[in-house]
Amino acid sequence: MDLFSGFTRIDRRLIYLLLTLFVILPFFVKFRIPQNIMPQTKNLFEFIENLNPTSEKAVLLSIDYTPQTMPECHPMALSLLTHCFKKKIPVIGVSFDPQAPGLAIEAFNWVANKINSIARSSSDSIIYGRDYVYLGWKSGRIAALLEMGEKISNVFPKDYYNNYTDSLSLMKKIKNYRDISIAIILAAADYPQEWLMYAQARHGLKLGAGLTAVMAPKYYPFLQTGQLSGMISGMKGAAEYENLLLRYGYTETTGKAEIGMNSQTLVHLLIIGLIIIGNVGYLATKKKDKKMFKGTQPSRQKGRIS
Amino acid sequence: MSPDPWIWLAAFLTMMVFSFLFRDNPFYKFAEHLFVGVANGYYIVFYWHQALKPNLFEPLKNGNLIYLIPLILGLLYFTRFIPRWSWLVRLPLGFMIGWGAGISIPANIQAFIFRQIEGTIVTPEILNSGWEGIWAVLIFIGVICTVIYFFFSTEHRGVLKYGARFGIIFIMLGFGASFGYTVMARVSLLIGRIQFLLGPWLGLIK
């Protein structure tokens, strides 16, 4: 077997090994690959950046991702919550995916605890019920999305912790979609589509989305029409948002998505390299086969005729 | 290294799943079956405690007899298993299809058809806005050519032939973008698992 035919027969286990090495390398060898920030991420960031904390409108975060898609969507949730909490914009969390509540609680607690650990007074702190509320999971999401336009507490009479929703100080100000400045759907399935159909088309609610990379191409047309005010797509989008938070001074370090993007870039380079090697091998062996075939062609044809 | 036995269990299960990359083996099969079982168990318990109990059985217990209607409609789905009564399944199906169509058709037309057509139309204001105008024209041509490609009622000849061929380029660009994003998504999941193994389990990274 010569070199070129070897290129077309690389053992898949060797490829997996290389892939693993390229993923692990950036965690130990520190380097930074510059990220360009895509307009849709910037638009969502700027939308939240331009919100007025005194307007008494909240950001609604629909946390609908699953443990499988955590590496992409969880950094988005942490970044969005950090941004909102640091700007003192109230946040209401809901979920329509059965696997999401645990992850939502983890995200809310992590960000709130981080901010509270350096807070000096009650006004600096993030307090449940005053600054944020997590209403939990609800079945029958289409009916719920429609009903929330009338009254949120009709759909969620109690929050995740079994408190009566109307008894929470934040929920006394937030009745329905009119009191929501933007709803951001962090999803690993087609939930944003239903928000577009029932919450936006019917009630005119502004929407943003944080999606897994697989879903992102499907939602680009909604950005162009303005149906989505912004979008964070995949780990790259999450890393972009982390970068923006760092640039605007909301955090001192970037998060997991930024580190992950270094591995992502290396793996993409590896994949491109392997595609080139495979094609070179294929073209070279094809050329060689053609030559061999040309040499044997007359006798073969003869054989066929006889 | 983590002292938490749950982290160790998660790490071992992750390794068992990864072992499939070498070849199919009993460790992978065990992890796969365990996942399916746990996921189903989770869903059954979750739906009982979060959906059926609070939304149906508790109101019924409190004397809200109106909830008998959804209960009966739901139970009628099971008549499918009794040949003599199986025609009754049409009642909940008819209700669901009627409700579903009624609620989704207008919303679909409004959110996906009208708004997308609006987004494709090239207006004089967009044309005067430099690069945005050029992109708008390109999108318009792309949409028309892609639609031509999927127009099968007439043979692709003459203008239709060139339109369809140009449409293929846009379709391929779309597929390329989707494929690129899909690769990125899958690699992201691998990165997430590696971050878990190196971080919470082995403690080698923060």
Test the A interface: residue of B184, B197, B204 with most A CBs within 10 Å:
B184
Planar angle of CA B174, A232, B171, nearest 5 degrees: 5
- The mean predicted confidence, pLDDT, of chain B is 92
Rounded to whole angstroms, the Cα distance separating A75 from A212 reads 12
Q: Does residue A199 register a pLDDT over 70?
A: yes
**Which candidate from B51, B55, B198 shows the least CB-CB separation from A27?**
B198
Reported as a single tens digit per residue, the pLDDT across A52-88 is 988 889 999 999 999 999 999 999 999 999 999 999 9
- pLDDT confidence of residue A63: 96
Query: Are A39 and B132 in contact, with CB atoms under 8 Å apart?
Result: no
The predicted structure's pLDDT at residue A303: 47
Examine the pLDDT at A273 and tell me if it is beyond 70: yes
> CB neighbours (10 Å) of residue B48?
12
Question: By the 8 A CB rule, do A248 and A49 touch?
Answer: yes
- β-partners of residue A207 are A183, A228
Residues in B closer than 8 angstroms to A227, CB to CB, are 111, 115
Q: Is the dihedral of CA A202, A207, A211, A215 positive or negative?
A: positive
* ipTM for the whole predicted complex goes beyond 0.85: yes
Q: Which of A37-51, A227-241, A274-288 has the lowest mean pLDDT?
A: A274-288
Q: Which two three-digit tokens encode residue A205?
A: 């609610």
Are the Cβ atoms of A264 and B55 closer than 8 angstroms? no
- Find the chain B residues whose C-beta atoms sit closer than 8 A to any C-beta of A: 21-22, 42-43, 46-47, 50-51, 55, 103-104, 107-108, 110-112, 115-116, 118-119, 139, 174, 177-178, 181-185, 187-195, 198, 204-205
CA distance A174 to A55: 11
- What burial class does residue A306 get, using C-beta atoms within 10 Å of its C-beta: 0-12 exposed, 13-18 middle, 19+ buried? exposed
Q: Is A128 helix (H, G, I), strand (E, B) or coil?
A: strand
Name the residue type at position B166: F
CB contact under 8 A, A71 and B205: no
Residues in chain B closer than 8 A to A102 (CB atoms):
none
